[in-house]
Amino acid sequence: MKDETPIVKFEDLGLLDYKQAWDLQTERHAAIVARKRVNRERKKAGNDPLPQTHELLFVEHPPVYTLGKSGSIEHLLLDEQALAEQGFTFYKINRGGDITYHGPGQLVAYPLFDLEEYFTDVHRYVRSLEEVVIRTCADFGVAAERDDGYTGVWLPGDATRRQPRCKICAIGVHLSRWTTLHGFAFNVRPNLTHFGNIVPCGIDESDRSVTSLSLEIGRPIELAEVKPIVKRHFREIFGFDWLPDTKTKTSGI
């Protein structure tokens, strides 16, 4: 990690079509990688590097299923016609992991971080994303945890009461030139029935399911209540400073 504290630009995109958000991520990621290349050349020439600005994007998506590069299309339980009839879109994308769902009421976070200014450790990066959500859940009185066999954030099951182990946050990332893409999807108050159209994250086990923060607390939780807490934990865990927030929101629908 560099001696300087990384600077992160935060942007809340509001409700935005998945493909538009993916294109935006790709564009911003390319700019960060380009700045890395410029700085390498500047160092070779004996010049000081230009400041690197990392980004953290928050977004909600209209209902969409995405399939990671290691996933199986068989885990999507709807055909093309059924997807269209029920108002879902579907994309194969370049993140790790299997299939997942995004929709309104789910906080999706896309960090675009140059990890060479933090730490060059993919495992630590994923654990750090999990920690953001674990601490956020704790602030709402929900005891979330990691699972040794799976990525993401889970709530423990209870075999005596026949309660399954439930995932509250899915994580899928992609790194290029140590610069991150994609991120996590935190179930705040999404329509959980939409997960019934897939095998979530490719995990087909009877003692595992999905849940949401609202369901666990027993009252509706709005994303506006959760976002500042997630932002605070991102800063605590990754150790950066913020640029002034971008106030403009973009709507893709």
Residue 121 lies in a domain: yes
> Is 162 among the domain residues?
yes
% of the chain with per-residue pLDDT over 90 = 78
Look at residue 251 and tell me if it is in a domain: no
Which of 31, 227, 234 has the alpha carbon at shortest distance from 118? 234
b/e map of 112-136 (b: 16 or more CB within 10 Å)?
bbbbebbeeeeeebbebbbbbbbbb
Any domain includes 181: yes
Where residue 167 sits, what CATH number does that domain have? 3.30.930.10
Instruction: Report which secondary-structure segment, H or E, holds 36.
Output: helix 18-44
Strands (E) across the chain are located at 7-15, 53-60, 64-67, 89-92, 99-102, 106-112, 145-147, 150-155, 165-176, 179-187, 208-210, 241-242
First to last CA, the chain: 40
pTM of the model: 0.91
pLDDT 10s digits, 93-144: 988 888 999 999 999 999 999 999 999 999 999 999 999 999 999 999 999 9
pLDDT at site 229:
98
Catalytic residues: 201
Give the structural domain span for 190: 7-242
Q: Please report the pLDDT score of residue 3 as a whole number.
A: 63
pLDDT of residue 5: 93
Question: What residues does 56 pair with on adjacent strands?
Answer: 10, 111
Q: What is the mean pLDDT of residues 153-165?
A: 75
Cβ neighbours of residue 51 closer than 8 Å, sequence gap 6 or more: 7
Classify each residue of 8-44 as buried b or exposed e, where b means 16 or more C-beta atoms within 10 Å of its C-beta: bbbbbbeebbbebbbebbeebbeebbebbeebeeeee
Given a cut of 70, whether residue 216 has pLDDT beyond it is yes
Query: Quick one: tokens of 225?
Result: 């209540």
Q: How many domains does the chain have?
A: 1
pLDDT at residue number 159 = 56
1 within some domain: no
Inside any domain, residue 174? yes
So what's the pLDDT on residue 2?
Answer: 55
CB-side exposure of 239: number of CA atoms within 13 Å?
Answer: 11
Q: What are phi and psi of 182, to 5 degrees?
A: 60, -160
CB 107 within 8 A of CB 61: no
* pLDDT the model gives residue 33: 96
Residue 85 in domain: yes
pLDDT in tens, 30-69: 999 999 999 999 999 999 999 998 999 999 999 999 998 8
**pLDDT cut 70: percent of the chain above it:** 93
pLDDT band of residue 202 (cuts 50, 70, 90) is confident
Q: What does the pLDDT look like over 170-195, one tens digit per residue?
A: 999 999 999 999 999 999 999 999 99
**Is 106 part of a structural domain of the chain?**
yes
